[in-house]
Amino acid sequence: STVLVLNGPNLGRLGSREPEVYGDGSLADLEVLLRASAPEGVEIDLRQTDDEAELVHWLHEAVDTGRPVILNPAAFTHYSYALRDAAALVTKAGLLLIEVHISNPHSREEFRHTSVISGVATGVVAGFGFDSYGLALDYVTRAD
């Protein structure tokens, strides 16, 4: 089976972007980590885009292919109703969609305290660095 690991805007800059908040690992490092921790037979399809429409299309693809999703919506978390509606399509189709964040948005600026995605996600993991993805993957591979 394949797990989609989808990443929103600016996450392509991981490693150099605010390392005090997001750590110094790159997205490529994250991919290596997840592949290493994925059980036998579980493929990791990790992608990143700065484009809201592309992210929406990838969620449609998840529905069409029946794949579970680990989603870091990045700043779209806080305001994208288009992404929320697309995420709802995934969970309403009976597929897992885990919202993840590297940082803990609740301990940061006020505007990060709201997630328009959480209400339609299966669950949320936040504040554990790259381990947020690992914890989500562990759940997905056991529950799926």
Known binding residues for substrate are: 72, 78, 85, 102-103, 112
Cβ-based nearer residue to ligand DQA, 77 or 122: 77
Question: Of these, 59, 86, 102, 136, which contacts ligand DQA (CB under 6 A)?
Answer: 102
Q: Where are the alpha helices (DSSP H) in 38-80?
A: 52-65
Cβ atoms within 10 Å, residue 93: 12
136 scored as a contact of ligand DQA (CB under 6 A)? no
Calculated CA dihedral for residues 7, 13, 14, 17, nearest 10 degrees: -130
d(CA 24, CA 107): 20
Minimum CB separation from ligand DQA for residue 124, in Å?
11
Judged by CB under 6 A, which stretch of 35-43, 55-63, 68-76, 81-89 contacts ligand DQA? 68-76
105 interacts with ligand DQA by CB under 6 A: yes
- Rounded distance, CA 30 to CA 134, Å? 9
Tell the smallest beta-carbon distance from residue 41 to ligand DQA (Å).
28
Give the span between the Cα atoms of 60 and 57, in whole angstroms.
5
Please report, as ranges, the residues that interact with ligand DQA according to CB under 6 A: 10, 72, 74-75, 77, 101-103, 105, 112
